[in-house]
Amino acid sequence: MLSGGGSDGSRGVRDVHAAGGLVLVQAVETAQFDGMPRAARDAGVAERLLAPEDMPRALADHAARAAGVATPVEGALTEIRGIEAVYRMLADEFGIDFTHYKPSTVTRRIERRLTLARSQDIDEYLQRLRKEREELDALYRDLLIGVTRFFRDAQAFELLEQRVLPELLEREGRDVPLRVWVAGCATGEEAYSIAIVLYDAMARLGERPLKIFATDVHRGSLECAARGLYEEDVVASVSPDRLARYFARAASTR
């Protein structure tokens, strides 16, 4: 992601990262127009921040490493002990059992991190994980693919708005509090979407005490959700009416 204006590209780099690709972002201090690289950097998925003249070498190295280790990595990852050691490290450090994840997804993510770390095989990568907390954190973040957006599943939110939530609100009296739990909230878009739908429903059916709990295993995502600050492209799926009623434009600090 190179120099440019605004937030264009921040959604793209998330998609590239989610697909297992390499994300390079121009170092902000080298950019003539820093809006685009700042937005891409703040998306939190950049592998490296570089000056433009350093990017060709990084891309060439990455391509060479990927081509050179693809075959041995595939074989190494089939060794149960190697994978189990990675699972155990993640469980001990973060309290999450990734053995319940889709095996092909875990394998693909570990292969990606192994290539980026320039490790020759799974054993060498394990040694790096044991020595470098930063690399273990990076692998953990890669495995938690936080794909979300406001009103992401239109059909589900339509069902919530037209049937599920009205039934909940009409079932109990207005003095009975309603509590909603959003598990795996990522950066908060789903939790805020549900809050908007609930407030619209209560405007029609009567207000009542309301609490929304949003949780996630990734602390960085929770911190982003708590701030409640989003780029314009992130709220593109929100209707103009709801944007006007539930959002406020923040002054740029860039």
**Dihedral angle at the C-alpha atoms of 213, 216, 219, 222, nearest 10 degrees?**
-50
Q: Which sequence spans correspond to the domains of the chain?
A: 1-50, 56-145, 154-246
Looking at domain 154-246, does it have CATH number 3.40.190.10?
Answer: no
With cut-offs at 50, 70 and 90, classify the pLDDT of residue 72.
Answer: very low
Average pLDDT, stretch 3-10?
Answer: 65
Average pLDDT, stretch 52-68?
Answer: 76
Q: What is the pLDDT of residues 173-200, one digit of tens each?
A: 888 889 999 998 888 999 999 999 999 9
pLDDT given for residue 80 in this prediction: 40
Q: Does the global pTM surpass 0.85?
A: no
Say yes or no to pLDDT of 162 above 80. Answer: yes
pLDDT given for residue 211 in this prediction: 93
